[in-house]
């Protein structure tokens, strides 16, 4: 059973907890809604500091290569979530087993700030080369101190994607100084973005991609759009570009 979770009944949809959830990964899972034919299930992987749900949407074909897309890790970098929303809300997807987390930092999005509600940069809070950072990159009291971080770590351990794309703004490029440079180059080519090296001015302390790449067989890469990417591009062009990275397609393309 996917994630070891029992699909939601009407009572669960009313707010009860799902029976059989694994390792605290999900609060509940809901079956495919009729208005979103691409969706297999919606899973709440955890909650923010202020109690907002962090939702992961399951799309595609289970059994195929598993891919995870994440956006809005920083609340003031919300535009790329349009890509994930368009994939979720469109026609069924074939060729990959796809998970999308459109809003990883819901408190930051609500506040329009980079950090979560405790003033922590979630992309400096993971237990990989964590350092005690202050200012714009405040890293928290310790590695993994934030509920959003712990929720994502549990989810990644359970799902174990072979590839992750983490969408950000505004540096405009794809990081090729990473675990799988060939994958990064392919992402850059298919998304028509420049290849860049995001070194964080030295060592990227406590990043999600660094933690995943150091502990799992799969590969994670950071993609950065610019300050003001076109909503038309993000909602209409970029979703197809992302699918082509993985040689996947919409059902209507048969």
Query: Does 100 fall in a domain?
Result: yes
Residue 89 structural domain: 27-246
Strand intervals (E) in 120-218: 163-168, 173-175, 195-196
Is 133 part of any domain?
yes
Share of the chain above pLDDT 90, in %: 81
Number of domains in the chain: 1
Q: Could you tell me if residue 13 is inside a domain?
A: no
Q: Are 5 and 43 in contact (CB under 8 A)?
A: yes
Average pLDDT over residues 83-103: 98
Q: pTM of the entire structure?
A: 0.89
Name the band, by pLDDT with cuts 50, 70 and 90, for residue 19: very low
Please report whether residue 20 resides in a domain. Answer: no
- pLDDT for position 80: 98
Distance CA 41, CA 204 (A): 34
226 found inside a domain: yes
- Scan for tokens 């955890």, then name that residue: 46
Return the CATH number at 236.
3.40.630.10
For 100, phi then psi, to 5°, come to -130, 135
Does a structural domain hold residue 18? Answer: no
The verdict on residue 2 lying in a domain is: no
pLDDT tens string 203-253: 789 999 999 999 999 999 999 999 999 999 999 999 999 999 999 999 974
Residues 6+ apart with CB under 8 A from 15: none
12 has a pLDDT exceeding 50: no
Interval 137-150 mean pLDDT: 97
Model confidence at 33: pLDDT above 90: no
- The answer as to whether 251 is a domain residue is no
Tell whether the model's pLDDT for residue 162 goes beyond 80: yes
State mean pLDDT over 175-191.
96
161 Cβ contact partners less than 8 Å away, ≥ 6 residues apart: 66, 67, 68, 99, 218
């Amino acid at each position: 059973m996917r994630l070891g979770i029992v699909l939601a009944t009407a009572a669960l949809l009313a707010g009860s907890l799902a029976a059989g959830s694994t390792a605290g990964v999900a609060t509940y899972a809901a079956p495919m809604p009729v208005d979103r034919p691409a969706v297999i299930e919606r899973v709440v992987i955890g909650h923010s500091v202020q109690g907002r749900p962090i939702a992961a949407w399951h799309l595609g074909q289970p059994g195929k290569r598993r891919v995870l897309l994440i956006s809005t890790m920083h609340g003031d970098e919300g535009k790329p979530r349009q890509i994930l929303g368009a994939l979720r809300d469109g026609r069924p997807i074939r060729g990959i087993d796809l998970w999308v987390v459109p809003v990883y930092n819901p408190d930051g999005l609500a506040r329009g700030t980079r950090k979560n509600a405790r003033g922590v940069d979630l992309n400096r809070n993971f237990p990989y080369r964590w350092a005690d950072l202050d200012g714009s990159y405040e890293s928290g009291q310790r590695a993994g101190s934030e509920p959003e971080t712990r929720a994502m770590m549990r989810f990644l351990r359970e799902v174990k994607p072979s590839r992750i794309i983490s969408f950000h703004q505004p540096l405009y490029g794809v990081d090729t100084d990473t675990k799988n440079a060939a994958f990064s180059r392919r992402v850059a080519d298919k998304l028509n973005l420049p290849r860049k090296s995001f070194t964080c001015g030295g060592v990227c302390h406590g990043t999600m991609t660094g933690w995943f790449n150091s502990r799992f067989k799969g590969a994670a890469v950071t993609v950065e759009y610019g300050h003001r990417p076109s909503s038309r591009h993000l909602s209409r062009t970029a979703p197809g570009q992302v699918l082509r990275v993985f040689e996947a397609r919409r059902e209507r393309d048969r």
